[in-house]
Amino acid sequence: MTSHDQLLAAFRSQITRGLQHRDAEWETSRRLVEASQLVHTLHGLMERVRRSHLPEALQEAILTALNQGTAERIQDLPGQHLKALTGLPPSKALRALCVHFDVVQPLTPRWPVPSLDSDIVSAFLRDHTAPFDLLLTSSVASVLDLGAGDLSFAAELADQYGPPLHRQGRSLLLHCVDRLHPQSKLGGPLHPPQELVQALRSRADLSFRYLPDQDMCEFERLARTGKLAACYTIATCWAPATPTFAHEPTRLSPAIIQQQLTQSRGSFRQTRYGGESALEVQHRDRTLLFPPWKFEIRGPLALLSLIAQSSYLGVLGAVDNQVFWELLAQLLEDHRFRPKDEPFTSDNLPVIFGDLYGRLSALAVGESFDLSTGATLRTRLSHIVSDGTEQKTYRFRSVIIRRGAVFPGVPSSSTARRFKDMVEEAPPWMVVLVPER
């Protein structure tokens, strides 16, 4: 026979597990414990408890913890009873019970979602060399800037498209996400000037939101909790991080990736710097410090999945050679482009990619290549969603590749503009992708 303590422990564990996957409901539950809503919330919660199939003893314990609905303030609730049920202090405990029993308010979308067709977007790209011009014709002009860094791209985009949209009686919705913490001593020039952040926030032609200290690969969670829109007209990422997106974990084993990192970057270890976690890298005769997640490997599949989830059009700018070829391998249908545990090198790239390598390498800066017509794109890409168990598949309707970092009429980032001074670096790439929706 199950004891009362065992019932409480099992219920408390169930509450904890349930909250891990219900971020959106948890956010909206804040409204339910406000003073003006409390009595209504308690009565709704009590009704759900009485209609539940929980053991009678557990139902009674919950009703007692809710003070039989007579409380008018959070302070009137028996905190110890709520803690025994949920492991949380009164306010959070009540919110947790609301989420568990589905006494929640729907999360109203804060931002509009565009209505576009992938065929129309693909046709637009065939007629326009500047992909961001889609903002001028889309029903919603919205951009998600991933890994926004110093916000230099955001500023150029706002200057170019804010005024014409304002003349149309519309504004540009611009959301920027970056993983650096604003107070971090690491990252140096990647921190945006505070005056730029304030200037973007104050523009009349711009609806601007800057989210630092956020992992862009957690887009699904950020959208579900209302921090970002559910989908944008365009998602863009400038100079996708190396080595984060330069090694694909589904193609290369952890040992191979570790070997590649050590050979190209030097030895590295986690350390502390100025009171915060850091990554220390011994590169030749120099000791370099980076944010602790600098060498976290996500791979290009994670970036492609992010683009497909978050937008109707993806623009990857200033993509360096290492990220580009690993990314390209994931976009092509034939498995031969993704040899297992064989890192790409200048020697094997021509062999693995064959004629396609020659055609792309021959592109002059400014020239483009329609991968959709020049090769066979993968028909099924997959990504893991929310709780790590369900797989969803997606594909790209079209992919345009352009050689170069900066193009006429196209806003770009400060990193892209620095490529002209990097004489030892090969010209980077721009990859424009249309997810099929």
72 and 149 share one domain: no
pLDDT for the residue 427: 92
12 and 96 share one domain: yes
Chain centroid, CA 356 distance in Å: 31
| Residue 281 is assigned to a structural domain of this protein | no
45 and 175 share one domain: no
| Residue 210 is assigned to a structural domain of this protein | yes
CA 55 – CA 144 distance, rounded (Å)? 48
pLDDT for the residue 432: 98
CA 399 – CA 125 distance, rounded (Å)? 10
Total number of domains in the chain:
2
* Residue from 236, 75, 90, 258 nearest 149 by CA: 236
| Residue 59 is assigned to a structural domain of this protein | yes
CA 229 – CA 335 distance, rounded (Å)? 35
46 and 177 share one domain: no
199 and 298 share one domain: yes
User: Which of 100, 132, 157 corresponds to the end of one domain?
Assistant: 100
| Residue 178 is assigned to a structural domain of this protein | yes
Where is 142: in which H helix or E strand? strand 142-146
| Residue 111 is assigned to a structural domain of this protein | no
Q: Is 321 exposed, middle or buried (0-12, 13-18, 19+ CB in 10 A)?
A: middle
29 and 132 share one domain: no
| Residue 82 is assigned to a structural domain of this protein | yes
Give one DSSP letter per residue of 15-71, joined into a string: HHHHHTT-HHHHHHGGGGGSTTTHHHHHHHHHHHHHHS-S-HHHHHHHHHHTGGGT-
340 and 389 share one domain: yes
CA 330 – CA 396 distance, rounded (Å)? 11
Residue with tokens 């929980």: 54
User: Which of 100, 134, 166 corresponds to the end of one domain?
Assistant: 100
Contact 129, 409 (CB under 8 A): yes
| Residue 106 is assigned to a structural domain of this protein | no
349 and 406 share one domain: yes
Q: What is the pLDDT tens value at each position of the chain, 437 positions in all?
A: 457 788 888 889 888 888 877 777 787 788 888 888 888 889 889 988 998 888 888 999 999 999 888 888 889 898 898 998 899 998 999 999 988 988 876 555 678 999 999 999 999 999 999 999 999 999 999 999 999 999 999 999 999 999 999 999 999 999 999 999 888 888 777 889 999 999 999 999 999 999 999 999 999 888 877 889 999 999 999 999 999 999 999 999 999 999 999 888 878 888 888 878 888 888 777 888 888 888 899 999 999 999 999 999 999 999 999 999 999 999 999 999 999 999 999 999 999 999 999 999 999 999 999 999 999 999 999 875 544 444 678 999 999 999 999 999 999 999 999 888 787 788 999 999 999 98
Give one DSSP letter per residue of 259-303, joined into a string: HHHHHHH-EEEEEEETTEEEEEEEETTEEEEE-TTTT----HHHH
29 and 131 share one domain: no
pLDDT for the residue 364: 96
The structure's pTM equals 0.77
67 and 200 share one domain: no
The CATH number of the domain holding residue 240 is 3.40.50
Contact 391, 383 (CB under 8 A): yes
CA 129 – CA 127 distance, rounded (Å)? 7
48 and 146 share one domain: no
For the chain, how many helices (H) and strands (E)? Answer: 16, 13
36 and 165 share one domain: no
Domain containing 24 equals 4-100
pLDDT for the residue 196: 96
Where is 305: in which H helix or E strand? helix 300-310
| Residue 265 is assigned to a structural domain of this protein | no
User: Which of 100, 127, 159 corresponds to the end of one domain?
Assistant: 100
